[in-house]
Every structure is written in C-alpha cells, then in structure tokens.
Amino acid sequence: MACSNLVKLNATSSSWIGQQSFGQRSAAPLGSPARRVSVVRAGSYADELVQTAKSIASPGRGILAIDESSATCGKRLASIGLDNTETNRQAYRQLLLTTPGLGEYISGSILFEETLYQSTTDGKKFVDCLRDENIVPGIKVDKGLVPLPGSNNESWCQGLDGLASRSAEYYSQGARFAKWRTVVSIPCGPSALAVKEAAWGLARYAAISQDNGLVPIVEPEILLDGDHSIERTREVAELVWAEVFHYLAENNVLYEGILLKPSMVTPGADHKEKASPETIAQYTLTVLKRRVPPAVPGIMFLSGGQSEMEATLNLNAMNQSPNPWHVSFSYARALQNSVLKAWQGRPEKAEAGQKALLARAKANSMAQLGRYSAEGESDDAKKGMFVKGYTY
Amino acid sequence: MASASLLKSSPVLNKSEWVQGQTLRQPSVSVVRCHPVAPSALTVRAGSYTDELIKTAKTVASPGRGILAMDESNATCGKRLASIGLENTEANRQAYRTLLVSAPGLGNYISGAILFEETLYQSTVDGKKIVDILKEQGIVPGIKTDKGLVPLTGSNDESWCQGLDGLASRSAAYYQQGARFCKWRTVVSIPNGPSALAVKEAAWGLARYAAISQDNGLVPIVEPEIMLDGEHGIDRTFEVAQKVWAEVFFYLAENNVTFEGILLKPSMVTPGAECKERATPEKVADYTLKLLHRRIPPAVPGIMFLSGGQSELEATLNLNAMNQKPNPWHVSFSYARALQNTCLKTWEGLPEKVGAAQEALLLRAKANSLAQLGKYTGEGESAEAKEGMFVKGYVY
C-alpha cells in the first residue's frame, strides 16, 4: 500500500468527525459532502464475529498455527527427510488435524489456503474435522512481506488487493477467522514509516476482514533479531501498539470481534542478558495494560523462535493472576517441533506424532490457566528454535 | 497553545525522530535524524516522580471514594454564593470552602479535592491552611491548572483550553504548596460538529498538559468534557466519545505519559440535554462502560466521572449502575454541583447552619461512595437531590 494514500486518508478522517450520517448537523458542516458512515463497522456479521472471538478466547485453550506457506512447510518436511509434495503436506496436516481430543486444548487453527480446501485421505474436509472438535478454522490472508521503499531496509506486508473477495470466499469455505502477519525490526530502527505502514495495513485488513465475516487476528511481530535490551523492546512495543489501536479505531474496527497476536516483550536474541519468565511476563503485561483496551477478548501470543518450553513457561508466568483479557497462545513451531521429530514421516509413527501434539497442547492449556509445571518435559522441548533472519 | 503550532510540528516528524533518536541506543548509520534529541527526552517520562505519581493515583482511586471538585473560578464561585444571597468576596469564598473541607469524616468518602488557586493558598479564619485540613482528613489536595476556554480560530465556533504557557513552573509551585494532582478541563461540542480540528486541539492540549504535570510531580486528571448541550441521541454521543478518547490516548502515548499515573474525568455517555428520548441509568451505564472497554487501557487506575449538569440523584444512580460488576479500573466520581448543590442551599450563608450544610455534603458524599461500590439504594433521598441542574451553555 503506497504511503501517499496516507495523506489522502488523513484528509478523509478530518471530515469524518463532522459528517456523521447519524447526528443532526448544525448549519455549516465542514469539509467534504457527507459520506455514508456506519458506526457498527462490522455490519451484518457483528454478532457472529463477537461470538467467534469469544469462542477462540475460551479458558484453557489457544490456537494451533499451521499456516506455513508451501515453501516453509517444505522446510519442515525437509528437516525429517521428506520431499515437499502436496501429498506430504496433506499427510502432515492430516496428522495434526485429526488428533483425537485436540479440541480440549485448541480453540482455533490457522490454515494455509491449500489446506483450507484439502481433505483427509478418506475424503473428509479438514474444516469439518476441525468443526467436529469445536476448533474454529482460520486462514492466513496476507500475501507476504516485501521490501519497503524509503525505509531503512525494512519490510511491509502485502495483501489488501482483492482481500474483500478472497475473505468472502474463505468464509464460504468455512473459515471464521483470518490472520495477517507484518513485522517490525528493531535493529533497522524501526523507522516511523515502517511502523505506520505496518499499523495502517493491519487496520485496513482488520476492517475488510470483519466486513466479510472473518475475525481478524492482528499480528505486528516485533522480531527477536537484534542485541537490544528488554527495555528497548518495551519502548518499541508501546509505540507500535499505540499506532495499531489508533488506526483500528479510525477504521471503525469492532474491538470485541478481533484477536491480537503480539510477540512477548523479551530481550533481543543476541542480547547478553537472558530474561526469566517472570521478567518477560512483567514487561509484557505492562505493555498490554498500557495499550490494550479490555474490549479485546483475546491476546494469543506468538512464539517467534522461543523453545517449546520457554514459550510455555512465559505464558504460564503471564497467567499467575487474572487479566482483563484472555491471555493465551497461537503457536506454530512451539507446538509442532516435537511432533515432527516423533513422526519422522513414517505412518507407523503418526500416533506418536499426535501424542506429542497433545502433550504440547495440554502443556500450553495449563499455562493459559496459570497451572503449568515443567516436570517431565523432554530435552527437545527445551531446545531453542530461534533462526537468525528467519523468514516464513 | 496556539493551533498554528500544530501545523509546524507535524506529529509524524516528531515521531520519526522519537523512534530512532532515543538517547538509550546508538542509532544506525543510515537513520535520518531531524533534530538532536534533548537529554530530557527519556523513556521514563515522569522522571523522578514516577513512583509518587503512581501511589497518588492509586490513593485517589481507592475503593468507596471519589473526588470533591471545588475548583470553581472566583467568578463561578460568585454565582454559587449569589444563589444563596451572598456577595462574591474572598471572605465568603473562604467561609464556603472552609465549610466544605472541614466536614467531619469527609475522608471516608472523598479521596481528593480539586481546588482553585486561591484556595490552595488560603487558610481558615483560625489561620489553618486549607491543604493541611485536607491532609488531616486523608484527602489529597488537587489544583486546577488550566487557564480557561477561549474561541478556537478556524473552527465551527468551538473552544480550546489555554494553559500550557508557564505550566511547568506553575505546577512546580503548586507541588511546593502541597498539591499532588491537577486538573485541566477542555470541552467538545456535538452541536458544533465537533470539527476534527477541535478534537485534535483538545486531545493534544490534554496530552501536553499531562506530560508537563507528571514532570513536576502532579497526577494529571485528563478531562475532555463532551458537553451535554444539544438534541443528539445517545448513539451520537457514543460515536463522538469513541473518537475523542482514541485521539486522547494516542497523543498521551506520543507524549510518553505514564498511564499508571493519570486519572480520567470523562462525561458519561448520555443523550443530549434537549433530546426527547431520555436514558435510564442502566442504559447510560451500558453505553458508558462499552466506551470505556473500547478506549481505556487497564493501566489507568481511575476513571472519575464528571456530573456535568445531571441532578445529584441522577449522577449517583448512573454511577451505581456502572459498578454492578467489577471493572478493570476504579470507576468513581469527581463531582462539583452534584455534591455541593444541597449543601449550599442548606447553608444559606448562615454560621448556625454550617453543621447542617456539612451533613448535607456528607450525605451526598456517602451516597456516591456507595454508588462507587455498586451498593447504593436511594433510600432517604430528598426532592432537592432530584432537581436537575443542567444549565444550557453552562460556563464554569
């Protein structure tokens, strides 16, 4: 989205306040002629959006993110010696999505487009498998990161073109929530431009999603890369979230019908000092309390390179006292890592793979309730998964 | 603050230097810096007062208590005195304010009192400082620091609030005198638009005032009053309130204000005074709570509603309706007329009626205390209390 649009958009919002279609206007209205502006942004889907968001943000549950692009999924398969074919991707996703009892710990699952239209080898649609477990199907709708001209080597997230019809299609196919991941890089600044673009893109995506029946997950990932301190991360996070909410408001997004997917507030990956789960929890909750209005039903953290165990411990630390919003997880690597290792691509090990998934899902469910204990965790679970300059 | 300055200091430019130019870190080579960043532009906005600010805000936002607003300017105080046949002299103002702050046990229901400058420096006829009386009552002294509303050029006949000039030294002096929180009231008018300009100016002024206040040890009460005047329905009020509060918080963040060290003083979300459709306390509570949930981060410790022309009873009932369930912030009152009205009428300026007047004040304070706890029942309310106090085009 070209930044020049922002100038026009500012002009629009200045006439917005004076031009509500609702109120009795006084003699001399300012600015451009009245536009049809509806206060209830989400139109006819408002109730369903609110309901869906609440369902995903239910106690003891979180999101299983399996929306890796085909290329990235290929990397996962390659790590256990499998070719990146559609069959293999289907087999892997089938293993995950047909795990019995998954719905006890998982409330939603983010799919890649290919998966939304796939079925099991027995011909059962994946979306139906999910529905049967009371897991809401979700869909990645962004079109990836590309270089942002005029920035300090930063990225922006594409995907607004055709988003409305794409979202409507996905809704027909059974999706009920969407996800859009943009990134902010601390080593690169971040520049005000990159932050503004990230926030504006998210706000526009959120409004369009709600218009088409999908609960938008709002994800501005502040990348782990860098040697900055936790204090610096906090500073940038506060800036980013202020901007995000400002634009969400400007776009009339219904807060009760969105979910957030923030990164936790931690030191950069190369920072000399590690932070304990308690410190991470404290910093992260401070940011949330300063930036997230209680109308937002759920905050589903990304794991972003933390080990499976770190991700669980940190979440647990954040749930030691009641929060004004559901504080939970939306993990990809931190749920899948052990699964891949246990499965190894072998049919006879599929069950072991599913058990591994349940074990991690359950651990994070306990963490959401603030009742996790690290007994019995494997060495694998403790291994960090940070990859410098990681691209999805 | 002149609105012209908003054009010069484009927020985007300020933010781009802000993000890159923090004194905390080494900027990278290709980062463009607009101006050198002053050493005082530190992340810890509130500087050395942070802990105290947070403590004070928490104290004012304590369960079962709220604020007694008694910061009427001399002119406005004159109107109050005139209504009971008294002249607007310093002695009469002193007598009235003494009556208020000395009500026995007031501190059980009142956590803070907003004073006008004259009162902050006043003593009783016995030579006791008003601020000392308040402290002994367990009531935090506060001070109005704005310099009033004036016409906003380029707007649709709207106002803006002056007061930033010299605010830093003024605030520091008030802190020395014993004040620990302050108040700045700006207004937004729905019949006049509101225009984007008026909203932006209101929000920006509040944010700058808040930052300067914290820098000088005072917890800022942030008050953008969306006036009751008008025939608009409650939905329109809601719409405007959402916009106003979004803007306010955006600028508060931009000015690095410590959210744990501020208090808010919003107007409740109600229909306009001339709207034919009235709203029940439950409806007012519904709309108002929805607004708060959408706009107020939980870091803010207290939300102290203004009464803005509601009757004493309405103001209490509405507050009570908002406290029927736990909220993520302390939801309370900062009432002037809705606490003082009956008290004033009872006093009549007669020394022998001081006791009765103080009783009347305590009665209203207690009613609102119960409302803050969601336990108000309305028994024993007088006709007086039910009388509406809306004055069209009311000027403080």
Least confident of A310-319, A373-382, B190-199, B281-290: A373-382
C-beta atoms of A187 and B191 within 8 A: no
- For chain A, the domain total comes to 1
- Burial pattern B290-303, b for ≥16 Cβ within 10 A else e, equals bbbbbbbbbbbbbb
C-beta atoms of A13 and B294 within 8 A: no
Closest to B133 (Cα-Cα) out of B152, B165, B107: B107
Q: Which residues of A are catalytic?
A: 219, 261
Sign of CA dihedral B344, B345, B348, B351: negative
CA distance B104 to A381: 63
The pLDDT score that the predictor gives to residue B378 is: 79
Spell out which residues of chain A touch residue B30, defining contact as CB-CB under 8 Å: 152
C-beta atoms of B235 and A22 within 8 A: yes
Of all residues in chain A, the percent with pLDDT exceeding 70 is: 87
A175 occurs within a structural domain: yes
A210 occurs within a structural domain: yes
A26 occurs within a structural domain: no
Q: Is the pLDDT of residue B121 over 70?
A: yes
The pLDDT score that the predictor gives to residue B27 is: 36
Closest to B252 (Cα-Cα) out of B311, B197, B191, B184: B184
Tens-digit pLDDT profile for residues B40-69: 333 444 578 999 999 999 999 999 999 999
A vs B: CB pairs below 8 A = 129
The pLDDT score that the predictor gives to residue B394 is: 66
The pLDDT score that the predictor gives to residue A42 is: 52
Tens-digit pLDDT profile for residues A42-94: 578 999 999 999 999 999 999 999 999 999 999 999 999 999 999 999 999 99
Q: Is the pLDDT of residue A203 over 80?
A: yes
Spell out which residues of chain A touch residue B294, defining contact as CB-CB under 8 Å: 255, 293, 295
The pLDDT score that the predictor gives to residue B380 is: 66
pLDDT interval class at A383 (50, 70, 90): confident
pLDDT interval class at A32 (50, 70, 90): very low
A349 occurs within a structural domain: yes
Greatest mean pLDDT among B8-22, B77-91, B368-382: B77-91
Tokens representing residue B261 in the block: 């060290």
Which DSSP symbol is given to B38? P
The pLDDT score that the predictor gives to residue A297 is: 98
B320 within 8 A of B374, measured Cβ to Cβ: yes
CA distance B112 to A357: 55
A60 occurs within a structural domain: yes
Higher pLDDT, B342 or A385: B342
Least confident of A13-27, A51-65, A120-134, B149-163: A13-27
Residues in chain B: 396
Q: What is the CATH classification number for the domain harbouring A121?
A: 3.20.20.70
Mean of the per-residue pLDDT values for chain B?
A: 88
Nearest by CB to residue A13, choosing from B16, B30, B196, is B196
Amino acid identity for residue A6 in this structure: L
B144 within 8 A of B182, measured Cβ to Cβ: yes
Least confident of A40-44, A189-193, B386-390: A40-44
Spell out which residues of chain A touch residue B275, defining contact as CB-CB under 8 Å: none
Q: Which residue of B has its CA nearest to A19?
A: B193
Place of tokens 């463009």: B32
Amino acid identity for residue A206 in this structure: A
- Strands annotated E in B208-321: 219-226, 263-264, 302-305
- Burial pattern B185-221, b for ≥16 Cβ within 10 A else e, equals bbbbbbbbbbbbbbbbbbbbbbbbbbbbbbbbbbbbb
CA distance A241 to A254: 16
- Which residues touch B355 (CB under 8 Å, ≥6 apart)? none
pLDDT interval class at B384 (50, 70, 90): low
A121 occurs within a structural domain: yes
pTM of the shown model: 0.83
A4 occurs within a structural domain: no
DSSP letter for each residue of B165-190: TTHHHHHHHHHHHT--EEEEEEEE-S
Least confident of A106-115, A338-347, B12-21: B12-21
Q: Is the pLDDT of residue A304 over 50?
A: yes
A143 within 8 A of A110, measured Cβ to Cβ: no
CA-based nearest distance A309→chain B, Å:
29
For residue A322, give its domain range: 41-382
First-to-last alpha carbon distance for chain A, in angstroms, is 21
CA-based nearest distance B215→chain A, Å:
19
A35 occurs within a structural domain: no
Q: Does B233 touch chain A (CB under 8 A)?
A: yes
